[in-house]
Amino acid sequence: MTDIKQVLIAETDKKVRLDTYLADNLDGWTRSQIKKQIDEDRVLVNSKPVKAGFNLTNGDIISLDLIASVDLDNVEPEDIPLDVVYEDDDVLVVNKPQGMVVHPAPGSPNHTLVNALLYRSKNLSKVGEAFRPGIVHRIDKMTCGLIVVAKNNEAHFDLAKQIATHDCARTYVALCDGQFRELSGTIIKPIGRSKTDYKKMTIDEGGKYAETHYKVLALFDKYSLVEFNLKTGRTHQIRVHAKSIGHPIVCDTVYGKAKPDFDLPGQFLCAVKIRFKHPSTKQDMEFSCKIPDNFKKIIKKLKPTWTENVDTLSNFE
């Protein structure tokens, strides 16, 4: 199975499902593999993202930018230290460092969080793809912070449902370019994959519903320290939404300035808090972490012009 970048013209004398048509016409690709690519907006019909069950008619133009999966049937455990915040028989909460990929993927087949988890524990959920044991949700490689891992299938299904129904709350802190005029607000803008660069997401009226809540914690001469809370969890959601209101995240060279203002390997964005109900006990669980030291050093260099309260910045020391 190889990567595919091409355009097909549908040839059919009757309506046929998109995923079925592609599975029948692309060697080495299964229908489930194709559905995953469609869900990631890597398949466009007449220049628009569609569902796997979209009915093709003769002459429809299908644009493909498919990325083949790595051979991940046997992901190797690796002895990589993890910052484990909490662990029991059902869940494990990890503070992921900036630069670590969550699970193996093309271009990152090893040295991931999954490789480290497999070394630490034999008990991980087996829901979904074999190369994502325990992984209920993801955060970007260059975003640091908290991620919850399921240690059995029952916990995985329960946590996944909480995320889908927005009962699992995730809070992030970011340093953004410029001063926010409104100290709190909600960004509701649909997000879809860029039609010019499939590694990027963009605001797209035909994209998926995305909702982000924000609260400004501190203002500096040229920056704002902001808390973001996700209502939905689209790919790159905070980064795309922040850019869309004119305040891209500092050191985000994909959605912000090409030349970073500070010496960071990636964007100044950290998942500092996660809250969910324990899958077995149903007790409310909440965990938090500090931003990393290199983030703290940047905050200490900046002179605040306004803070939420006198203790705000002490939380980042």
> Which of 140, 158, 204, 252 is labelled catalytic?
140
Neighbours of 160 (CB within 10 A): 17
pLDDT of residue 193: 82
pLDDT of residue 106: 63
DSSP string, the chain: ---EEEEEE---SS-EEHHHHHHHHSTT--HHHHHHHHHTT-EEETTEE--TT-EE-TT-EEEEEE-PPP--TTPPP------EEEE-SSEEEEEEPTT--SS-BTTB-SSSHHHHHHHH-S-----S-TT-TTBSS---TT-EEEEEEESSHHHHHHHHHHHHTT-SEEEEEEEEES--SSSEEEEE--EEE-SS-TT-EEE-TTSB--EEEEEEEEEESSEEEEEEEESS--TTHHHHHHHHTT-PBTT-TTTS-SS-SS--SS-SEEEEEEEEE-TTT--EEEEE-PPPHHHHHHHHHSPEEEESSTTTGGGG-
Domains of the chain with bracketed CATH: 4-66 (3.10.290.10), 84-164 (3.30.2350.10), 169-275+291-316 (3.30.2350.10)
Q: Show the tokens assigned to 267.
A: 């964007």
Any residues with CB less than 8 A from the CB of 124 and at least 6 apart, and which? 117, 118, 133, 134, 149, 150, 151
Q: Is 3 a catalytic residue?
A: no
Each residue's pLDDT, cut to its tens digit, for the chain (317 residues) gives: 567 788 888 888 889 999 999 988 887 788 888 998 999 899 999 989 999 999 999 989 999 988 776 554 568 899 999 999 999 999 999 999 999 999 887 667 789 999 999 999 989 998 766 678 889 998 999 999 999 999 999 999 999 999 888 899 999 999 999 999 999 999 999 998 887 776 789 999 988 899 999 999 999 999 999 999 999 989 899 999 999 999 999 999 999 999 999 999 999 999 999 999 999 999 999 999 999 999 999 999 999 999 999 889 988 88
pLDDT of residue 198: 67
In the block, which residue shows the tokens 């497999």? Answer: 118
Give the global pTM.
Answer: 0.80
